[in-house]
Structure 1
């Protein structure tokens, strides 16, 4: 009888140890999964199609960025031919809403791409605002530099990256430069839907599965976006009109502002080329109004 009791106690101890080991294994697995969550960017993108920025739009930018009394923002003017003017006008839209000038920093990295103080400051900003101008000029300054890495570190930690016009184009991994291979003289018109015509180069890469076009409805850029959707079927082609923006958080997108956003997808990866002209079947086209949402 005593032997049976001892055997029963030993069996219970073995069972308890086994349960504890299983519990420990689960906790270890959860810990191993944690970095995957942490590696996802914590920031947001506020991508403006150019033109005037209504006060309501800038207020929304401040709101989604949790711009409290201790926050500050950084303006990057390197897309502009007149960086000082770009900083002035970008600052003004925030000052008009009561933001103290001491909380607005303008860094022209053309004059100091290795400036560690500026980069450290940028990494801690709540908002990083990229002005309009020439997106290729901006990327010529930024690509393969500590500033590029600093922008991604800030975004990963929770900063809102905002940009207008050229500052919108740079957001995607594949960036529309504005140039055409087959029509060298820039006119602002995109009159054809041709293969191998629209020049694409490296952008900042915050958007991995979308390509951004700007001033979209105002400047009638549908031909360009259709060409992009056909030739880059793995990307969502997004055209943002003036005074309009998209707010990107993860894979979720919200439209805000005064006009429309055009979204074109090519889910069938359809493409036909004949005499240099592009053709495709079953493209998906949506016209999104302010307040609408969609996903990549």
Structure 2
């Protein structure tokens, strides 16, 4: 029998069009699951066509709800996603949040790379992994794209 129980894994899968301006209850819950005032959140806007706006909006809502810090990991290619430095940023996170957009792009950029593996490790060690729309779709074993 192991000495320690495996950490509880946490996923926060959001269908899309979540409230980021008002009470933002679901995103407030994400911050809480990521550690509240100790939350170190990585925002991944790679799927979005409006990456700057997405980063600004999520950084604002996560810090408004008490997150200690927000970092951005935004590789545009598989080569960039295979960078160990990006993986280290994810390895230090207590929460990983993927934006909406094109889930096929997320799969193409992250699957089988250092950063993609770091997201899986984050989940396995108990960090909350969340996402909206494409960022939610990418979290399943089977994903619908272009449909």
- Fold shared, TM-score > 0.5 on shorter chain: yes
Give the alignment partner of residue 26 of structure 2, picking from 42, 51, 57.
57
Residue pair 1:76, 1:107 contacting (<8 A) in 2 also: yes
Counterpart of 1:108 in structure 2 is 74
- Tell me the alpha carbon deviations over residues 166-206 of structure 1, each in whole angstroms, 9 at most, x when there is no partner: 11111100011142xxxxxxxxxxxxxxxxxxxxxxxxxxx
1:150–1:99 CA distance, 2 compared to 1 (3 A)? closer
- Tell me the alpha carbon deviations over residues 216-235 of structure 1, each in whole angstroms, 9 at most, x when there is no partner: xxxxxxxxxxxxxxxxxxxx
Counterpart of 1:11 in structure 2 is none
The separation in 2 between residues aligned to 1:77 and 1:178, in whole angstroms, is 19
Give the alignment partner of residue 9 of structure 2, picking from 43, 50, 60.
43
TM-score (norm 1): 0.44
1:55 offset after TM fit, Å?
1.9
Listed as ranges, the gaps of 5+ residues in structure 1 are 1-29, 180-296
Q: Secondary structure at the match of 1:177?
A: coil
1:154–1:99 CA distance, 2 compared to 1 (3 A)? closer
1:60 offset after TM fit, Å?
1.6
- Tell me the alpha carbon deviations over residues 240-262 of structure 1, each in whole angstroms, 9 at most, x when there is no partner: xxxxxxxxxxxxxxxxxxxxxxx
TM-score (norm 2): 0.84
The separation in 1 between residues aligned to 2:66 and 2:123, in whole angstroms, is 25
Q: Secondary structure at the match of 1:68?
A: helix
Counterpart of 1:256 in structure 2 is none
Q: Secondary structure at the match of 1:162?
A: strand
The separation in 1 between residues aligned to 2:33 and 2:47, in whole angstroms, is 25
1:99–1:153 CA distance, 2 compared to 1 (3 A)? closer
1:43–1:124 CA distance, 2 compared to 1 (3 A)? farther
Counterpart of 2:117 in structure 1 is 149
1:171–1:94 CA distance, 2 compared to 1 (3 A)? same
Alignment RMSD: 2.0
1:94 offset after TM fit, Å?
1.5
Q: Of the two, which has the highest radius of gyration? A: 1
Matches within 5 A, 1:75-224: 75-99=43-67, 103-110=69-76, 112-179=80-147
The separation in 1 between residues aligned to 2:126 and 2:71, in whole angstroms, is 18
